[in-house]
Structure formats: structure tokens, C-alpha cells
């Protein structure tokens, strides 16, 4: 069982202070750390900050660069949209522009999913020459656009300026083969402005994460794992589906993930449980909120342990320090519990304690092999 | 800002004793370590001892093997010699031979730069068939020979026997294509013996670091960094120039590097400051001298901190333990200071304390990406 607290790693708000995880009251995680082998992981190359797609691919044992899939495609398949080999998916973020066309909020105040759905209904009237468009609301301010047609190419500039007070970028072609796609997206953006430009707070979209869908070898084909995903957000369901996990239905209701886990327990070999709030609150700069989200997971742990997993890993896919209000490159604490874990002297689950753990400082890609090893699912190499 | 104390890492002279860095009184470095994230780095593959060229290429984020440039070429460009694509540069060390032709001192007592220049003037009369020769004094016992002509090839045996009491090796061809170059260098060495064989203490040269110059992608093209180098020794200027740094003029006067740094502070994004003495004294087996050289840098640090760098790294390019009188493979202590560094519990800057630092044990190549990350100069990978 793999529990991912999205954006778990943090930073102190003041020099010498605690991180979010260090500030949180986590008696169950600390007890688990005492019984576990711990460490920290680097999601990608040292110093590189991952998006959520590559961060999760690494946790699932894939190469986050060579096996990369655009975020738009992950969101689309997470929403159950079927993607053909040549379809192009784009992640949309509803945003707020001021009267001068400058971005004032890259997430439009994280509008409700209901408002998102209403806006998508308005945008559904947009057409483009030579391609068919499919739009779908994801959650809060996130949505997906799928383009279907000939000659689509992902090498187009993302329009999110990653800053406020400046206008969105143009979806320029970054390669001559992408001129056609660039023209379609330019026209789409123009029509979005015409259609919802007078709405508030969401009056435009930023386009990112262009990608075609690649079928990766499944966890079942690689490791004979029947794997299941318990995630609320479509993007995480998408990346889980891309590696062949069964997507179990879960709702936002606080205990629903736990209840569905208990129900499905006997039917699978591997469970991926995704907690989104830690990342969202980190991105909002809400140190105390992120701390409380960690504490909520801690309170859950006794029920997880009652299920008696063979191997239990708790970690994050990357750091999202509230201080930075963004993903970061800092290493992520990690614990691995199991009857064959060679436990270390670490007495608490947090960034500094795990630095001296028995797993050392490892790439995220090594976590799944370690889980399989501790579950005695890997054969000896060589005679 | 990257401060490199050349050959920083050391060894105890007696079991259980302190290293040079542990013996040094370094209140400013220790205070910096308390505020920083620390670790150790391996310059190359674990167990491999680097020369200064590859050691610095790794610190600048390049692959020290794939991007290697011969030391001779680095010294030549550091001296301002223009190298064409096919020119071959050779590093020369003046040495002392006894009456039997055996090496008694591989560095000729580290002769003065003035004597070096006088000897180079004598050697300037040497000619070779089919190629033109250019000789230049570097500093102390080091000089450079540049060959210009057709069909030059670096695959020739280095003549430094790396031992005393034995004669220099012959510059034999290590590949059939290098026969021509081997003949030129054999003739050159013969004429050196004829020309200065009766001098003392420098009466011959050892030839190493054969190399053609390769243009590497610059730090500016890779990372949009306007980088500057403050180094006294030409070889280090050469490797800095090879990666596109601006070479600022500095003298040997003890405070000159600091003064030039302060003057240039606003004009660049990245500074590389190179301290040579730690390595030289380590190679001389002078434990106390190396200790004092470290203490001199420590006294400098308040002025560096007054400049308020965003990110400050202090480390070495490799270890040069006085006990070994040579470069070594031992990992090198490292500290990274910056407002986004997730500080650890390390309270002093030395080999043993940094072992448990938050950066872990990393390859030298990861240092520049970490500096860029902590300076918020890297984009997120994937949406």
C-alpha cells in the first residue's frame, strides 16, 4: 500500500522553525516511523521540481522523463475520456484577467466545480476548422480540452505565464510541424475570450500540459500486480490508469476513501491512495491548513494498519512548501513499514529525522522496487 | 556564488586525529553551516580521483568525462592563447633530474614564476618539422606547449612517471594515428634536455594533459547565467572560460580577489571564486599550512556575506589530504546557504559533520542545479 500525501515536503516559515510536517501532531505516523525504515527521496534529478504527472510516474517506478505523458492527457483519461493515438489533450486552468488583459489570478480563486461545469457548458459551442473539440470540467478551476483530427502536434508554447500582472502568452508553434495546432489553439483562446470574457471571477483559460497519450507497460505486465487507485482528482486517476491501475470510485466525503479501501481490500495486491489537500493548501501558502491536512491523515492510520498490509509506504510525490506557494525540488520524507524492513533509529516522521534513515537518499523510482522486494515479489538476479 | 577551496577535503595525520579542516579554527564557516543545508559530494564516480579540470567541470554542472578537455588546453586558454580546432595543447611541468636521468622532484621545487619565464625564453628557440610551437609560462613550475599543424593527435603517453627515482616516460604513441605527434614530442623533449639540462633546479619538463580544445555549451546558453570567474591560476581561468564565464583580472595580493568581487558584484548573476593554496599546501604535505589557508578564507567570509548573495556554496573540487601529498577520491564537504535551503542539524563545516547533512552524498554535477533551484532559476518539469 502506497499512501501519497501530495506535496508533503515543506520548509520552515522562519529560520530554525518547523516545517509543516514537523509542526503537525502526528503520533501515529511517528509510531509507524519507529517501526519502519525511513529515508528521503528525490522525485527526479537532484534540484529538479516535478509536476504532479512526472512525480507520480516516478513513484510508480517509471522514468519520469522518458515515460512522460502530458498533464492534459492524464487529466483526460482520468475523466474517462478515451484518447486515440493522435488526439491531443490540453490542460485548461480557468483564470482571471483584469481590464488590461493581465492575469490577476492564475486559478480564478479556485472556483467551484459547479461553476467550472457551467463555464464548460458555455465553451462547448466553440468549433474549430478540421478538428473536433471535446471539453470536460475537471475539479475546481481545472478543465481539459481534447483535439481530434489530423496532424496535431504538442510542440506549442504553454500560455500560462506562471506570473501575475502580465498577459497570457500566445500558443506559438515551437516547431514548424506544430503550426496547424498553434492556429487551432489561438482561435480557441480567442473564442474563449468572446464567450466568457464578461464572467467573474473566471473570464479566460490558460493552456498547459499539451500531450498525446502513450500507453505504458502496466504494473500487471511488469510485476504481476493487480493495482487499484483511490484518488479524488482526475489527474491522479489518469496517471494511475496510464500504468494499468483499476480506478475505484471515491467521493470527496472525508472518510469515503478509507471506506472504499476497506471494501476493496481483498480484491487487489496494491493500493495507491492519493491525498490532494496537502498540495492544494501548500500552493495556497496555508501553512496551518497543510499541517491540519497532515494531521487528518495521521488520524486515519489506525484503520489502515487494521487492514494488515504486508508493506506500507507513506510519502509525497514532491515538496510543496507553504512558504513557496509552489512545488519545489526539496527531498521528500519517506517511510516503509513491513515485517522485512530493517528498521533504523529514526523516531519521528519528518524531513529532518528521515535524513538519517536506513533507506538513505534515494530516487523516487526506487520506491516501487523496494516495496516489491519487501513484499517478496522480486526474484533473485542471477544464480 | 560558488567558493571553491581547491583540494579542500583532507585526512587525519594520525588515526582519530582531525583533518586539516577539522583542525582549522573556522567560526564563520561553522556559523554558515548552522544556517545552511550541508552534505558531501563525490567529484566523479565514487572512488575516482579527479584532476582539477574534470573536478571543476563537474562543479559547473558538466559531465567530467564526456565533456572532458585536456588540462593543457585549459591552461592555454586560461593564459589567453587562442586555440584552433586542430591545435594540440600540452601541460608542461618543470622538474629536476639527477645525473642518471631519474626524477628527483616532479615540480622542481615549485620554482618561481620569474625563473619559469626565463626558462621558457630559452626553450622558445626549439623548432619542430611540420608544426609550429608556442610556449608559455603558467605559474611556478607549470607551463604550456601548443602545437599547430596537420594531423595532431592527443593519444600519446604522458611522460610524468608520477613517482621519483625513475626516469620520465617516453611520449609513445598510444594509437597509430598519434605516431606523428609522438615523434614531434620526442624531439621536443630531447631539445629541452639539450637546452636547459645544465640548469638547476629545473633541468627538464614532464608532459601531461594533452588535449584539443572543445567548445562546451555556455552557462549563459544553458541557464541564462552571466557568470564571472575570480581565479589567480590560468588553468582555472581556462576551465571557466571554456564554459563561457567572463574572466575578471585578479592578482596574487591576498585581498585582491575580494576587492574585485565587490567591484563586479552588480554586473553578474554568478561568481566562481577559486582558492588555490589549500591544494598546493596539501600536495606539499603541509598539514598546518593547509589549515592556515582554510582559516584565511574563513576570515574573508563576513565580507562575502555582506554582499548578500541569494545562494552561497562553499566546497572543494576534490580532496588533497596533506597525508597523501596528492589529490584523492575522498568525498568533499559542501554547504549551501540561501533563504530556501531546508537547513539540517549540522553545526560545523567539516568532513565528518557534513556526512549527515540534508543534501546527502551527491555527485558534484548536482551542485549547480541545486544552486539554480535555490535561486529559483529552474522551471518545473511537467505541469
Count other Cβ atoms within 10 Å, centred on residue B215.
11
* Dihedral pair phi/psi, residue B156, rounded to 5°: -125, 145
ipTM score of complex: 0.83
* Chain A residue at shortest CA distance from B361: A361
pLDDT above 70 coverage of chain B, percent: 100
* Dihedral pair phi/psi, residue A8, rounded to 5°: -55, -45
pLDDT above 90 coverage of chain B, percent: 89
Residues of B in Cβ contact (< 8 Å) with A55: 382
- Measured between CA atoms, how close is B342 to chain A, in angstroms? 6
Q: Which three cell numbers stand for residue A85?
A: 493515438
Look at the pTM and tell me if it is higher than 0.90: no
Query: Which H/E stretch holds residue B59?
Result: helix B52-59
Q: Which is nearest to B42 in space by CA: B336, B279, B366?
A: B366
Interchain contact, B369 vs A44, CB within 8 Å:
no
Interchain contact, A47 vs B383, CB within 8 Å:
no
Residues of A in Cβ contact (< 8 Å) with B358: 331, 351-352, 355
Quick one: pLDDT at residue B383? Answer: 67
Q: Does A382 touch chain B (CB under 8 A)?
A: no
Does residue B203 sit in helix, strand or coil?
coil
Quick one: pLDDT at residue B214? Answer: 79
Q: Which is nearest to A8 in space by CA: A365, A350, A324?
A: A350
pLDDT in tens, B234-263: 999 999 999 999 999 999 887 899 999 999
Q: Which is nearest to B36 in space by CA: B369, B298, B333, B299?
A: B333
Closest Cβ–Cβ partner in B362, B379, B383 for A71 = B383
pLDDT in tens, A62-81: 999 888 888 889 889 889 89
Interchain contact, B344 vs A331, CB within 8 Å:
no
Q: Which three cell numbers stand for residue B383?
A: 505541469
Give the number of beta-carbon pairs within 8 Å between A and B: 86
- Measured between CA atoms, how close is B343 to chain A, in angstroms? 8
From CA A236, how far away is CA B354, in angstroms rounded?
A: 37
Residues of A in Cβ contact (< 8 Å) with B40: none
Closest Cβ–Cβ partner in A47, A68, A162 for B373 = A47
Q: Does B343 touch chain A (CB under 8 A)?
A: yes
Quick one: pLDDT at residue A289? Answer: 98
Q: Which three cell numbers stand for residue A382?
A: 542471477
Closest Cβ–Cβ partner in B343, B370, B381 for A51 = B381
Give the DSSP letter of residue A136. Answer: E
Q: Does B382 touch chain A (CB under 8 A)?
A: yes
* Chain A residue at shortest CA distance from B38: A355
The C-alpha cell 486515440 sits at A84
Residue B171's alpha-carbon distances to A66, B100, B137, B205, B208, in angstroms, are: 45, 19, 21, 12, 10
The C-alpha cell 466553440 sits at A126
pLDDT in tens, B204-224: 999 998 988 877 899 999 999
Residue B149, sorted as left (phi over 0), alpha (psi -120 to 50) or beta, turns out to be: left
Amino acid at each position: 500500500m502506497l499512501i501519497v500525501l501530495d506535496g508533503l515536503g515543506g520548509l520552515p516559515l522562519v529560520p530554525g522553525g518547523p516545517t509543516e510536517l514537523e509542526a503537525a501532531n502526528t503520533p501515529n505516523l511517528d509510531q509507524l516511523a519507529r517501526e519502519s525504515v525511513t529515508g528521503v527521496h528525490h522525485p527526479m534529478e537532484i534540484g529538479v521540481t516535478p509536476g504532479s504527472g512526472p512525480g507520480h510516474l516516478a513513484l510508480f517506478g517509471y522514468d519520469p522523463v522518458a515515460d512522460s505523458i502530458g498533464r492534459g492527457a492524464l487529466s483526460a483519461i482520468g475523466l474517462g475520456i478515451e484518447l486515440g493515438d493522435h488526439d491531443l489533450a490540453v490542460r485548461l486552468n480557468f483564470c482571471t484577467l483584469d481590464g488590461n488583459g493581465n492575469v490577476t489570478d492564475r486559478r480564478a480563486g479556485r472556483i467551484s466545480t459547479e461553476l467550472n461545469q457551467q463555464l464548460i457548458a458555455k465553451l462547448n459551442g466553440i468549433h474549430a476548422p478540421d478538428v473536433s473539440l471535446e471539453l470536460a470540467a475537471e475539479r475546481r478551476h481545472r478543465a481539459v480540452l481534447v483535439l481530434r483530427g489530423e496532424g496535431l502536434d504538442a510542440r506549442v508554447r504553454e500560455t500560462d505565464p506562471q506570473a501575475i500582472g502580465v498577459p497570457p502568452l500566445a500558443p506559438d508553434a515551437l516547431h514548424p510541424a506544430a503550426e496547424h495546432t498553434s492556429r487551432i489553439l489561438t482561435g480557441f483562446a480567442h473564442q474563449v475570450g468572446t464567450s466568457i470574457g464578461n464572467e467573474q471571477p473566471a473570464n479566460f483559460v490558460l493552456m498547459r500540459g499539451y500531450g498525446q497519450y502513450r500507453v505504458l507497460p502496466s504494473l500487471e505486465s511488469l510485476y504481476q500486480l493487480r493495482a487499484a487507485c483511490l484518488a479524488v482528482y482526475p489527474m491522479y486517476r489518469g496517471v494511475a490508469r496510464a500504468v494499468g491501475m483499476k480506478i475505484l470510485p471515491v467521493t470527496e466525503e472525508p472518510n469515503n476513501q478509507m471506506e472504499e479501501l476497506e471494501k476493496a481490500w481483498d480484491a487487489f495486491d496494491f493500493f495507491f491512495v492519493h491525498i490532494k489537500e496537502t498540495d492544494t493548501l501548500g500552493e495556497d501558502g496555508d501553512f496551518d491548513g497543510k499541517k491540519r491536512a497532515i494531521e487528518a491523515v495521521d488520524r486515519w492510520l489506525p484503520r489502515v494498519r487494521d487492514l494488515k498490509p504486508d508493506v506500507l509506504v507513506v510519502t509525497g510525490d514532491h515538496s510543496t512548501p507553504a512558504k513557496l506557494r509552489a512545488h519545489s525540488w526539496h527531498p521528500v520524507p519517506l517511510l516503509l513499514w513491513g515485517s522485512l524492513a530493517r528498521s533504523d533509529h529514526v523516531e519521528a516522521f519528518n524531513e529532518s529525522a528521515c535524513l538519517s534513515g536506513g533507506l538513505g537518499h534515494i530516487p523516487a523510482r526506487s520506491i516501487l522496487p523496494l516495496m516489491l522486494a519487501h513484499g517478496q515479489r522480486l526474484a533473485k538476479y542471477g544464480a
